[in-house]
Amino acid sequence: MLHGLKYTIFNCIFFHNMYQIMSAQTKIYYFIWICNPYISLIVFLDNHGFKKRSDS
């Protein structure tokens, strides 16, 4: 729990610093990534073709 909290705080600081130089689309992506890493992981895997497709 404590480790996760420290990780979240680090992400917030990192995100705030990166936010200044991001494009709008990148800001949205990183916002989703920080708020819900599980969703972004699924999207990442899906975009890179690791997800099994039922229509193949």
Residue type, 27: K
Q: What is the mean pLDDT of residues 28-51?
A: 71
Sequence ranges of the domains in the chain: 2-47
Distance CA 24, CA 45 (A): 22
Distance CA 16, CA 13 (A): 5
Q: What is the mean pLDDT of residues 39-56?
A: 65
Distance CA 25, CA 56 (A): 30
> What is the per-residue pLDDT for 32?
74
Whole-structure pTM value: 0.27
For residue range 1-27, list pLDDT tens digits in order: 566 677 777 777 777 676 677 677 777
Query: What proportion of the chain, given as a percentage, has pLDDT over 70?
Result: 62
